[in-house]
Amino acid sequence: MKRSIGIIFFLSVILTLPLRGNANDTPDLRGAYVGLIGGVAIPSPLPTTVTDNTDGGKAKVDISMKLGFLAGLKAGYRLPFADRIFSAELEYNHIESNTDTGKKYSGTSVDTKITGDLIMLNLIARQPAGKWHPYVGAGAGYAIIRLNDVSGVSEGAKVLSLPGQTLGAFAYQFFIGLDYDINKNWYVGLNYKYLITQSVSYTVTGTDTVTGTPQSGTFETQFSSHLVMLTIGYQF
């Protein structure tokens, strides 16, 4: 995580410098804008502590995740001071990713899906001149994270079945991007983002599929992901 934040900070310094050739361009004085977002989620392994509530046993494991997707929308306003360099933005994203069932943990694979619905408030610094607009930003908000039904499979047999659960958590993000003005109103953009949430703890109960005995377990984990996104939007 520290390495990712360091890279973003370095690129932030580069991207916020004035672009050569644009020094005499008229700053973009448009204010409000909206955008549709779509892209790829590259989740980090989930650092998970699993507690067996029947005997108190604990195990720590990093659960591998597959590539996922995201879709969302945003609306913002470029603040009128400082030639509209700064923007305030409200963003919604829906993210989904499945566990990598090809990975085994003590001989057992884990099959579940993580979904997240996030409302984020962002602050952005943007190069206002010209058609190309590099920018950097950071945001914070709230994530509703759902852990879908969890299945554990060992040697082809289901050995674990636990129902899913939904929890909320604080989330924050750092990002860099580049927008291009197609014409006076329409723009497209490419964006990289690093997203991380607070730790969440799911306590779920179920039944051992082999013995039929009740099961209770706690999954404590933290979701983080690299996101690569495309935006198409309209500015007023």
How confident is the model over 197-220, as pLDDT tens digits? Answer: 999 988 777 666 567 677 777 878
Rounded to two decimals, the pTM is: 0.81
Q: What is the pLDDT of residues 21-39, one digit of tens each?
A: 444 466 666 789 999 999 9
Q: Which residue has the higher pLDDT, 46 or 58?
A: 46
Strand 214-221: give its sheet, edge to edge.
Answer: 58-63, 46-52, 214-221, 200-207
Whether the pLDDT of residue 8 is over 80: the answer is no
Do residues 145 and 166 touch, judged by C-beta distance below 8 A? yes
Mean per-residue pLDDT over the chain, rounded? 85
Tokens of 120: 């984020």
Does some domain include residue 95? yes
Question: Residue 11 pLDDT > 60, yes or no?
Answer: no
Q: Is residue 26 part of a domain?
A: yes
Say if residue 163's pLDDT is above 80. Answer: no
Residue 56 lies in a domain: no
Radius of gyration (C-alpha) of the chain in whole angstroms? 22
Q: Which of 20-29, 58-67, 118-127 has the lowest mean pLDDT?
A: 20-29
User: In the structure, what pLDDT confidence band is assigned to residue 193 with cuts at 50, 70 and 90?
Assistant: very high
Indicate whether 160 belongs to any domain: no
Residue 106 lies in a domain: no
Look at residues 204, 226, 224, 223 and name the one whose alpha carbon lies nearest to residue 215: 204
Q: What is the CATH number of the domain that holds 27?
A: 2.40.160.20
Residue 115 in contact with residue 145, Cβ under 8 Å? yes
For residue range 88-114, list pLDDT tens digits in order: 999 999 999 999 988 888 788 888 899
* pLDDT exceeds cutoff 80 at 175: yes
Confidence of residue 180 (pLDDT cuts 50, 70, 90): very high
Which range marks the domain in which residue 79 is found?
A: 2-46+64-101+115-143+166-203+222-235
Q: Total structural domains in the chain?
A: 1
Cβ neighbours of residue 17 closer than 8 Å, sequence gap 6 or more: none
Q: Please report whether residue 76 resides in a domain.
A: yes
Lowest mean pLDDT among 16-20, 28-32, 168-172: 16-20
Residue with the two structure tokens 């554990």:
152
pLDDT band at 1 (very low <50, low <70, confident <90, very high): low
Task: Output the pLDDT for position 98.
Answer: 95
